A and B are shown apart, each in its own frame.
Chain A
Amino acid sequence: MTETKIKSLSRRQFIGYSGAAAFVAGAQMALPLPAWARVPGSQAIVDRHGIKDVAAKSLYNLDIGYAPFNVNGRTGRSTAINGSVPGPLVKLREGDKVKLNVTNSLMDTEHSSIHWHGILVPFPMDGVPGVNFGGIAPGETYEYEYDVVQGGTYWYHSHSGFQEQTGTYGPLVIEPKGEEPFSYDRDYVIMLSDWSFEDPETIFRNINLSGDYYNYQKRTVWDFFDDISDRGLEKSVNDRLMWGNMRMSPVDLADVTGATYTYLMNGSAPNANWTGIFNPGETVRLRFINASAMSTFDVRIPGLNMDVVMADGKAVKPVNVHEFRMGTAETYDVLVRPRQDKPFTIFAESIDRSGYARGTLSPQAGLSAPVPPLRPRPVRKMEDIGMMAGMDMSNGKMMDHGNMDGMKAMDHGKMGHDPSAAGPNGPEPFKPEGDQSGVVMVITDPKDRLAEPGIGLGKDGWKVLTYKDLVSDEPQPYSPDVDREMTINVTANMERYMFSFDGKKFSEHPGPYLFRHNERLRLYLVNHTMMEHPVHLHGMWMQLENGQSHDKIPYKHTLLIKPGEKLSTLITPIEKGDWAFHCHLLYHMEAGMMQVVRVA
């Protein structure tokens, strides 16, 4: 790039900034956004390279307290950190001993807490009340102190009650000790979240009492007629009969939707248009973090290819994609190289297409690019939830196998060895025991779905990231020899809003699952529900067996498991103690999809 070009850009940028200040100030005046999340030009403190030049520190003080939070002109009460939603950027350096003092100023709460999501810490530093410590009582400060042994993009959030829904989350970025296998000019955090003016207790109650409370995209009578003209009468009727027999809805994609949520990007509503600045020709690193309570996002930047270079904070060989799906709590780092001198929309659609978070990458503040329309809400097919393709209700096949109570008891014993599953045996078949009212469906023949982009994706004519694409670009310190295998089943009854592992809600398990210290464990996860669940394991990595050789299997702290899917991970439990293991959908966790893992 020539000298003149740079100069002219800077000059225009300068004008852009001053012009944008007035534009953005109106929208954001009342938003107490932290420095890292501000639209450049809108505030006094602007780092023109995003967070690239923000110095890492080894001491942070985080104060969790109530603060007004403004979305689209309406003000609600948030549980903010240092007064802002999202909280401040915590930037650490690998190899440092860090100290993070967290104060609970929510004086009417039982406790608060901060969990460092994806960070390997000793047992008392993980921050889950009732597992790792007793929580932080109102007015008290808990001193987290640990050695940082990893680099990458992570986040932190409260693990107390529903505080995470109301704003107690922030980005955590760790500068690696060594060189990263890629370079870039600018560095932005893109933190996606979901905000509601309803009390989370009310949301939780509403979906408990009526599972489809927030679903305003159900199938109507007219959809049935449309379906008949598309697929014919027999198929349409069979489809209704099969779903009706299971008492499940093929359009149950998200429990809590845009009917109550405003989706946020870096704390800004779509029309506040969070903006990141670039100069054409630069490489921009975007650190996507799904900090929502209940939302799965499909992210794309129309007009730009993205190189996915990190998943859950760990480097992967670059994958060039146009879109990727993010389960709650996952993080993806992507590099984009905009060459044109024009703005690009960062578009994050919720999985049920009920809303989106949106921002702009722009050569100057105040610009915006067209916002794409929401795609039609997808409809699940039987195959999508792991049911046999072409299973036909009219000849009574399903009725023969299932007892009348849903799809239970299709017990064929141990299925034969499936070459797609890692290990000699594959997952242990699931036989629910005792009171089974919390389990609606048992999938006897779960599928390997790592190469599938997921429901509603992959048919747009562009490349969507899949788990199969992830090839680790990090050292593999752990042994390939597996000591033990364990299967954990993901189970639920949506109608009763009961969510569980192995058919048992948290309070019904006889005790914690046992992982052995420093063993090499193959953990199978099998999803017997018809929804995606972002399953998160604290305190250790899950290395996803996605067909790569052992030294290239990707590290994950959160795995979005698809309906009817089986997958396997290799785990080396490196720290003794008790660790939380749960679905990261906040209300699923609260409804019982949680367990303790004891490393002993």
Chain B
Amino acid sequence: MRHIILAALLVSISAPALAQMDHSAMGHSEQDGELPADYRDVETTPETGEPIQKYAVDAQDGAQKNFGLQLVHDNKVFYTLMGDRLEQRFQQGDNAALFDVQAWIGGDYNKLWLKTEGEYNTSKADWEETSVEALYSRNVASFWDVQGGYRHDFIPEADDRDFAALGVQGLAPYWFEVEATSYVSDEGDVSSVLEAEYELLLSQRLILQPRFETEVAVQDVKEYNIGSGITGFETGLRLRYEFSRKFAPYVGVSWEQSVGETKDLLQADGEQTNNTAFVTGIKFWF
């Protein structure tokens, strides 16, 4: 009885397939013994002591294909949008909203990065300085990419600035995420920015992230209150909770200090030279 039920079941399952075969089956007869178009027998026998031939000789250009198909696509192009810092800053003086958003598109070797960072004065409802960068990124080592491209700064109450950018981005030993970029402005002024981040896992989802940023200018650019040498640094500590890998609200503190000539220039102008902010925001990517 069991066998009858089994047989009945199989007939019912296979019936559609069998019916279809009549008109659409690709008989294996077409395929029988059909080797790939670029297949060649190897005629020679290797001599003793001859180094081994590891690859077949009739290699083709680009990825290997048989029957017009590529087996796996290991150069997949991905794209992503990352909001590293989207935060409200509560600080001395005017409060501000800060955004630090990046996006890239590309594969393992070549990528196009777009980066933007800026502040909006929420007390005055006014834009502060905002920079936008477009960079071509090329991997040069296991953990490092070289990035080059263009940056534009939107500056309220002054002329916008344009820069050529060249830098490296990657993962330094001991898991520091590092970004170091040098800029040459349209006036020939040279400066460099270094950013480093680290992550400390308090739990699998509760993560403390120290962050450090500093800038160095080669020339004075008095128009923009920049003095040569180290212009200042910013250091922060953010504690986020990853509801998912892609969405994490955080709270933190950020401290900025201008130094050297830059500090003097700012002071002379009656501007703030240091700032402590309590921040709350979200980190996301998708």
Residues of A within 8 A of B (CB): 35, 44-45, 47, 55, 61-63, 82-83, 88, 101, 103, 111, 122-125, 128-136, 139-145, 204-206, 208-210, 213, 216-222, 241, 244-247, 404-406, 408, 435-440, 484-486, 493, 495-499, 505-507, 509-514, 516, 576-578, 580, 589-592, 594, 596, 598, 600
CB-CB under 8 A from A131, the residues of chain B are 36, 66, 71
**Contact A600 B56, CB 8 Å, known A61-B14, A505-B74:** yes
Contact A142 B70 (CB under 8 A): no
Residue B123 is within 8 A (CB to CB) of chain A in the complex? no
**Bound form: Cα–Cα A46–B202 in Å:** 52
Residue B78 is within 8 A (CB to CB) of chain A in the complex? yes
**Bound form: Cα–Cα A398–B126 in Å:** 53
**Contact A437 B140, CB 8 Å, known A218-B201, A245-B173, A600-B39:** yes
Contact B35 A507 (CB under 8 A): no
Contact A405 B143 (CB under 8 A): yes
- Shortest CB-to-CB span from B45 to chain A, Å, is 8
Q: Which of B20-61 contact A (CB under 8 A)?
A: 20-21, 24-28, 31-36, 39-42, 46, 52-60
Q: What would 8 more interface pairs be, CB under 8 Å, given A134-B69, A514-B57? A: A45-B5, A103-B16, A134-B68, A141-B20, A437-B141, A510-B55, A514-B56, A600-B41
Residue B125 is within 8 A (CB to CB) of chain A in the complex? no
Inter-chain residue pair count (beta carbon < 8 A): 229
Contact A205 B6 (CB under 8 A): no
CB-CB under 8 A from A218, the residues of chain B are 201, 204
Contact A103 B71 (CB under 8 A): no
CB-CB under 8 A from B174, the residues of chain A are 241, 244-245
Contact A44 B56 (CB under 8 A): no
CB-CB under 8 A from B139, the residues of chain A are 435, 437, 496
29 contacts between A and B (CB under 8 A): A35-B6, A35-B9, A45-B6, A63-B13, A88-B13, A101-B17, A129-B67, A130-B71, A143-B21, A143-B27, A210-B245, A218-B201, A220-B203, A241-B174, A247-B173, A406-B143, A493-B142, A506-B71, A506-B72, A507-B64, A511-B56, A512-B55, A512-B56, A512-B64, A513-B56, A576-B35, A590-B74, A592-B74, A600-B41
**Bound form: Cα–Cα A437–B200 in Å:** 27
CB-CB under 8 A from B124, the residues of chain A are none
**Bound form: Cα–Cα A55–B140 in Å:** 59
> Number of contacting residues on B, CB 8 A?
75
CB-CB under 8 A from A220, the residues of chain B are 201-204
Residue of B31, B55, B76, B200 near A513 (CB, 8 A) is B55
Contact A139 B36 (CB under 8 A): no
CB-CB under 8 A from B245, the residues of chain A are 206, 210, 213
Contact B46 A484 (CB under 8 A): yes
Residue of A213, A217, A247 near B204 (CB, 8 A) is A217
Residue B175 is within 8 A (CB to CB) of chain A in the complex? yes
**Bound form: Cα–Cα A244–B17 in Å:** 56
CB-CB under 8 A from A111, the residues of chain B are 69
Contact A590 B73 (CB under 8 A): yes
Contact A509 B201 (CB under 8 A): no
Residues of B within 8 A of A (CB): 2-3, 5-6, 9-10, 13-14, 16-18, 20-21, 24-28, 31-36, 39-42, 46, 52-60, 62-76, 78, 80, 108-109, 139-144, 171, 173-175, 200-205, 245, 285
CB-CB under 8 A from A589, the residues of chain B are 72
CB-CB under 8 A from B26, the residues of chain A are 136, 140-143
**Contact A511 B20, CB 8 Å, known A123-B35, A486-B52:** no
CB-CB under 8 A from B13, the residues of chain A are 61, 63, 82-83, 88
Contact B25 A143 (CB under 8 A): yes
CB-CB under 8 A from A511, the residues of chain B are 55-60, 64
CB-CB under 8 A from A140, the residues of chain B are 24-26
Residue of B14, B55, B66, B171 near A132 (CB, 8 A) is B66
Contact A437 B42 (CB under 8 A): no
**Bound form: Cα–Cα A109–B200 in Å:** 43
Contact A55 B3 (CB under 8 A): yes
- Shortest CB-to-CB span from B183 to chain A, Å, is 25
Contact B25 A498 (CB under 8 A): no
Contact B42 A221 (CB under 8 A): no
**Bound form: Cα–Cα A408–B10 in Å:** 57
CB-CB under 8 A from A408, the residues of chain B are 142
CB-CB under 8 A from B25, the residues of chain A are 101, 140-143
User: Nearest CB to that of A241 among chain B residues?
Assistant: B174
CB-CB under 8 A from A130, the residues of chain B are 64-67, 69-71
CB-CB under 8 A from A133, the residues of chain B are 31, 67
Residue of B5, B66, B69, B108 near A44 (CB, 8 A) is B5
